[in-house]
Amino acid sequence: MTEGPLADLIVLDLTRALAGPHAGMMLGDMGARVIKIESPTGDDTRGWGPPFIGEEDERESTYFLSTNRNKESLVLDLKKPEDQEVLARLVARADVLMENFRVGVLDRLGFPVSRLHEINPGLVVLQITGFGHDGPEATRSGYDQIAQGEGGLMSITGTTQPTKVGVPIADLLAGMNGAFGVLAAIHERSTTGRGRVVRTSLLAGMIGVHAFQGTRWTVAGEVPGLAGDHHPAIAPYGMFATQTAPVQIACGSEGLWRALCGAFGWDPAEDRFATNVERVAHRDELIARIETLFADQPAEHWLALLSEAGVPSGKVRSLDDVYSWDQTLSQHLLLDVEHATQGKLKIPGSPIRFDDNPYSGGRATHAAPPTLGQHNESIREWLDS
């Protein structure tokens, strides 16, 4: 493991699936030593597929590979006293312990927060749940798509019916919020000398990103509906069909509206479209007008015209296109890692860069996601040293 801004931190990652592992990976990307503690059968995501890579006896889930880079794997059966003792020794050395069990499970395993802080008063404990650690539905299991629905995100996503986001966004946001909370608690510890419990949930992550859609209800009393492919408060702002592929336009100011009209040969002061409020009120008519114009030429023609006019626009790329795009490559958003059984792999990297490191994350090099129990021996030797 190589240096980074969090290289002095030791993180015990008892989480599984996606929300907690994503938080641990974010800390690992910044240089923290992240010890992933797995049951004898491993993280659930090791079996999530297809797709898998490798031979049957050494196969790896691409799902697991997406969220466990820069970690070491230690297998412990926390129902066994001898493995509970190993965990207690790790807690004594750690800075952070992360868990996303259902409420009360860690207590029943013999590690309530009171004991964790008795062993290590400076320990920061991150607890990620589905719907919060208390309240009438605290004991519910947390699954991403259910949280997307319960948290309202699906009610504003889609065109003709509620639609989930194409990635497990509730899990990912819970992980991001958890990592942020951990760093705040670590900063506080530098003054107080004591750790604290950081709590977040999939539900909190969903509500935390409602943004202007939330205040449409809480302030204006308006219940948002399906947003579709167009912004509910700005026009034109959305996706438009062309002769070939769709083109997206973001006309976020009156100046941009005038630039778009100049490119299209339109009068920006025309009735029904002179202001953003009027354009939003007549959005369907404006969309139809733009798509009628766009039907005569391929996407590339309109993208070039809009770019020359200074109007923000873009295409809708497939993932293979994204990962071969020269701009993606210029940002070093892909990592080359050496996997213990699969050899060289190319995986998406951290979205964060620092000014003295051209590569993603805070480390000089990155480690591939571990095989199950890959570091059993080395971690136990470290504990005994």
At 190, which helix (H) or strand (E)? helix 169-192
Phi and psi dihedrals of 314, rounded to 5?
-175, 170
Active site residue 171: yes
Per DSSP, the three-state class of 274 is coil
Furthest-apart CA atoms within the chain: distance in Å? 78
DSSP annotation string for 62-98:
HHHHTS--S-EEEE--TTSHHHHHHHHHHHHH-SEEE
Cis peptide before 81 (omega within 30 of 0): no
Catalytic residue among 13, 29, 144, 171: 171
Paired residues of 339 in beta bridges:
343
DSSP for residue 151? T
Per DSSP, the three-state class of 174 is helix
Q: Which of 45, 9, 209 is nearest to 122 (CA)?
A: 9
For residue 83, is it left (φ>0), alpha (ψ between -120 and 50) or beta? alpha
Sign of CA dihedral 92, 97, 102, 103: positive
Q: Which residues are catalytic?
A: 171
